[in-house]
Amino acid sequence: MSDEHRLKVDWIACNGYGVCEAAAPDLIVLDDWGYPILPDGSVPRELMGQARKAINDCPMVALSWENRASATGGRLGRLRFGRRGRG
Amino acid sequence: MGTTQPVTQPTERLLAGPPLDGRAEALHAHTTRLGALPHVPAVQMIAALEATGLRGRGGAGFPVGRKWRAIHDQPGLGVPVIVANGAEGEPESAKDRVLMAHRPHLVIDGALLAARTLGADRVELYLGREHTAAVRAMKGAVEERLKSDRKLLHVIEAPTGYVAGESTAVVHYLNSKDARPMLTPPRMSERGVRNRPTLVQNVESLAQVALIARYGADWFRDAGRGKDRGTGLVTIAGPVRHEGVAEIELGTPLAELVEMAGGLTGNPKAVLIGGYFGTWAPIESVWGMPLEPESLKAAGLTFGCGLVRIVDERTCGVGYSARIMDFLAAGSAMQCGPCKYGLADLAEASGRVAGMGAKATDLYDIGRWTALVTGRGACRHPDGAAQQMSTALAVFADDFASHADRRRCLAASLIGAYR
Ligand SMILES: Cc1cc2nc3c(=O)[nH]c(=O)nc-3n(C[C@H](O)[C@H](O)[C@H](O)COP(=O)(O)O)c2cc1C
Ligand code: SF4
Ligand code: SF4
């Protein structure tokens, strides 16, 4: 794909625990109901670390990369990401 | 909502034939009038659909030909399934139930054409169970068909509810009796019902296909006054002599539709076009508006499911939009936070404003929350709900302000009933 790095939420899985905000305070804010508001466009290079942390920390595996995630959404995104992260 | 009275008109194609008196057209009458269902080769059928420019009539307006081609051009993913979507969960729309109740064989013809064109071995007729006349007519029509066709056709009574007609909810229900939307990718054109490529198509869209197969794309495009061609079913409600379902040439101005419906019986103020997911507009700005997807879109409005709900000056727009919001909030499948909590808060805040009990922050919050819930659910339910609310906020701005600030209803004051 391109070097676009967009985050997405699986809204059915997300429970609004807000762990993602703590992991990525410069990237994610919570709305009135405690659900994450994601950045509009691509995650800037300098915040990639925060984005990765948010994906890995989310207890519901609800966060993933838009272009890499698949049907199972978060989980696959996370596994793939985990491998990338180590490699 | 008592708007099932059909309105008969000259530009009729889908509704041509015997009077719309509550009785379904029988198969022999249908084939005598229109001829037997022709065998059209797949490639030709899809090319014809593309040439018509026919858009889906379930609300989203996606081009029908493109949807069929996507499934046709990807063999190897399994035998496709066709779903005729007759859920019609939109409370004020009656066009699908009127069509199914009177012309069930047009819908079945269209579904069978889809099955033949795409090589499907199953057709699910997904019918809102509360539309009893439509369900009865469709079941009766299936019984009249040849045994070979009957084997394909399965009537499924869909649960009542606004989101039960959303396409992923339809697939979910057919797979596991749970009519809640689900996350889509892998696309249902690849894996849907029984994990097979699935075509979900509104019943009116399919009925249009039944006529296109017989008369061709040029004939289809003969009707229409704007960019989108053909005819369309609409439901007109409000202060007109005959509320109900009408078939119009797409692009017919609103004023003319009102004439078709016997003229006004009150002083109109605003119109909700496209359904509870639709857009409000002040009457003067849309009186001459061609009712057709392209023109409406250019004006920031939506054709949606063809609902044209007029409200008169004595109707409180704040109360009307708040009641819709309440209905849509209750209709959320409660799976996604912003939809579940956001729509509930929107309903409560708009209800407080309508009921003269607004908090100081309510108007501000309503504006903010409509933006906040948009695009933040697994399906587009919150988007549609927000669209209705935000256009109401703009069109009834004075009424909202008066309710919130002076605790006075401008519409009620017209009829001398101060609250
Ligand atoms: C909340 C929601 C409810 C819907 N309800 C219906 C419905 O009752 N009937 C229908 O045909 N389409 C409904 N739709 C649209 C379907 O998702 C789908 O787009 C449509 O059935 C496809 O057929 P078409 O392309 O012929 O319009 C709904 C969409 C949403 C977001
Ligand atoms: S951490 Fe995960 S579950 Fe919690 S709010 Fe963020 S995305 Fe939702
Ligand atoms: S957005 Fe709302 S209606 Fe759609 S799946 Fe989520 S909770 Fe259900």
Whether the Cβ atoms of residue B125 and residue B142 lie closer than 8 Å to each other: yes
Backbone angles phi, psi at B73, to 5 degrees: -85, 10
pLDDT tens digits for range B175-207: 988 888 887 656 888 889 988 999 999 999 999
Mutate to test the interface with B, among A15, A20, A21, A35 (most CBs of B within 10 A): A35
B105 and B211, same domain (yes or no): yes
pLDDT at residue A86 is higher than 70: no
Task: Give the tens place of pLDDT for each residue, B363-381.
Answer: 999 999 999 999 999 999 9
How close is the Cα of B181 to the center of ligand 3, in Å? Answer: 6
Asked whether residue B39 falls in the same domain as residue B185, the answer is: yes
How many structural domains are present in chain B?
A: 2
Using N-to-C axis directions, what is the helix angle for B381-395 and B343-354, rounded to 10°? 20
Q: CB A12 to CB B336 under 8 A?
A: yes
pLDDT value at position B418? 41
Where do runs of H (alpha helix) occur along B61-103? 64-72, 95-102
Q: Nearest-CA residue of chain B relative to A66? A: B185
Is residue B212 located within the same domain as residue B323? no
Q: CA B115, CA B79: separation in Å to the nearest integer?
A: 10
Q: From the CA of B169, how far away is ligand 3's center (Å)?
A: 10
In CATH, which of 3.40.50.2000, 3.30.70.20, 3.40.930.10, 3.40.50.970 is domain A7-81? 3.30.70.20
Q: pLDDT tier at A68 (50, 70, 90 boundaries)?
A: low
Which residues of chain B lie closer than 8 angstroms to A21, CB-CB?
A: none
ipTM, 2 dp = 0.83
The CATH number of whichever domain residue B373 belongs to comes to 1.20.1440.230
The CATH code of the domain that includes B61 is 3.40.50.11540
pLDDT at position B187: 82
Give the domain-ending residue among B191, B221, B251: B221
User: Which residue ranges make up each domain of chain A?
Assistant: 7-81
Q: Which residues of A touch B337 (CB under 8 A)?
A: 11, 14-16, 33-35
Last residue of a domain, one of B168, B189, B221: B221
Q: Point out the residues of chain B with pLDDT beneath 70.
A: 1-10, 184-186, 414-419
Contact B101, B90 (CB under 8 A): no
Judge whether B336 is closer than 8 Å to chain A, CB to CB. Answer: yes
Give the pairing of strands A7-9 and B81-86: unpaired
Coil/strand/helix, residue B294: helix
Task: Tell whether the model's pLDDT for residue A43 goes beyond 80.
Answer: yes
pLDDT score at A83: 32
Query: Chain B partners of A11 at a C-beta cutoff of 8 Å?
Result: 335-339, 376-378
Q: Is residue A44 over pLDDT 50? A: yes
Which domain, by its residues, includes B125? Answer: 27-221
CB contact under 8 A, A11 and B182: no
- Reference B240, options B262, B273, B268, B271; nearest CA is B262
Distance from C-alpha of B211 to C-alpha of B305, rounded to nearest angstrom: 20
CA distances to A1, A3, A6, B156 from B125, in Å: 40, 44, 39, 6
For residue B159, what are its two tokens? 């649960």
Write down the pTM of the prediction. Answer: 0.90
pLDDT confidence tier of residue A75, bands split at 50, 70 and 90? very low
Q: Which of B176, B203, B221 is the last residue of a domain?
A: B221
Q: Identify whether the C-beta of residue B20 lies closer than 8 Å to the C-beta of residue B8.
A: yes
| Residue B182: predicted pLDDT | 82
> Taking CB atoms and an 8 Å limit, are A33 and B185 in contact across chains?
no
Within this chain, do residues B32 and B177 fall inside the same structural domain, yes or no? yes
